[in-house]
Structures are given as structure tokens and as C-alpha cells.
Amino acid sequence: MQSIQIDRTLYNTKPDEADRTRKEMDTYDRLDKLGISYFRLDHEETPSIEACDEIEKLLGIEICKNLFLCNTQKTRFYLLMMPGRKKFRTKDLSRQINSSRLSFAEADDMEKYLNIVPGSVSVLGLMNDVNKCVTLLIDKDVLRDEFLGCHPCVNTSSLKIKTTDLLTKFLAYTGHEPTFVEL
């Protein structure tokens, strides 16, 4: 596994807008407006959850694995949050949500509904799903920790956020009612 460059400084404010995308800055602006505090760590692009080991240690959290899924007909879209190291088995989830076979959704759909690209999938992308086209699924194991880790809609920074703030403040703002699953 290759190591990535990490700015080991832990920030609790949004970055300067220079060299940052609008979607990333919109994420920080939304968190600030909702009164959601966070710790931020900046780093090179993370190609996989395994590349986040050092980031997790520095933030003192486990980064969530976020999977963007759809049914066979591509009429239903799902964002699944689960512990980063947990194995995903499609049949376990399909049965719980009464859906036919699930697969990974296309990058175009991810960008269309969440305004994010592969590698940057994050629950925070739900702020862009104003028409509520995406159903949020949360593995119950995510709820066991006081804090969770996710990207601010880009995978060159990682955030540590209180789980309760995500559930009560952020999801209340987006209007997405999570469905809890056990994987």
C-alpha cells in the first residue's frame, strides 16, 4: 500500500478558498450554518479506504465507507454508510430493503444526484439531493461511535463529525430520513 501525503495539522475551521472547489467550500459553509463543528485533516487524494489508516489515527475515528448503489432497473438510488473495514454483501442488504439485486450506480448518476465523483462519496453529498432521489441507508454499527469520519464531498480532506450532529442537524436540514440496516 502506498502512503499519501498528509498535512498533520488538525483544523476546526474551513480552509481558505484558494485552490478549493466550490462543492468543498459549500460543504463547509453548510456545516457552519447548521452549527455543526468538525475537525478537518487535509491530504492527498485517497484512492481507497485502506489508504486512510493514518488519517483515521490522526482524527481518532473510523472513516465510513460510503457506497452509491442502485437497483437493477436504475429507478432507485441508495447511499449506504457503513464502517470502513466492514465487508459489504449485496444480498444481505437487498433482503433488508426489499430490493431486487443491487449494484454500484454509475458515476453520472452520482454526480447528477449528489454532485460528487467516485472516490469522494460522502453522506454530506445529500445536501445536493434536493429532490430526495437518494435513500440513505446506515449500518447500525456506524451509530456505536460518538464521532464518524467522512469526506467534505472531495477526497482530499477528511472530517471528524459528531454522529448525533449528522443525524439530528444535517439530516434534518436535508430532509433525508435514514433507514437503518444490519450488515
What's the whole-model pTM score?
0.94
**pLDDT digits 0-9 by tens, 67-123:** 999 999 999 999 999 998 899 989 889 999 998 789 999 999 999 999 999 989 999
H helix or E strand, kind and range, residue 104: strand 102-104
Q: What is the CATH number of domain 6-181?
A: 3.90.960.10
Whether the per-residue pLDDT at 169 is higher than 90: the answer is: yes
Report percent pLDDT > 70 for the chain.
Answer: 99
Q: What is the reported pLDDT for 51? A: 78
The pLDDT, as a whole number, for residue 101 is: 85
- C-alpha dihedral, 54 to 14 to 172 to 114, nearest 10°: -70
CA distances (Å), 66 to each of 34, 39, 121, 125, 172, in order?
A: 22, 19, 6, 11, 19
The three three-digit cell numbers of residue 112, written as one number: 447528477
Q: Mean pLDDT over all residues of the chain?
A: 94
Average pLDDT of the residues in 11-31: 95
| 2: pLDDT strictly greater than 80 | no
Average pLDDT over residues 167-174: 97
Mean pLDDT across 56-64: 92
User: CA 154 from chain center: how many Å?
Assistant: 10
Joined grid coordinates for residue 61:
475515528
Does position 179 have pLDDT exceeding 80, yes or no? yes
Beta carbons of 77 and 113 less than 8 angstroms apart: yes
Distance, in Å, from the CA atom of 108 to the CA atom of 46, rounded to the nearest integer, reads: 20
The residue-averaged pLDDT of 131-138 equals 98
Q: Name the residue ranges covered by the structural domains of the chain.
A: 6-181
Task: Give yes or no for residue 160 having a pLDDT over 60.
Answer: yes
Q: What is the pLDDT of residue 19?
A: 86
CA distance 37 to 146: 13
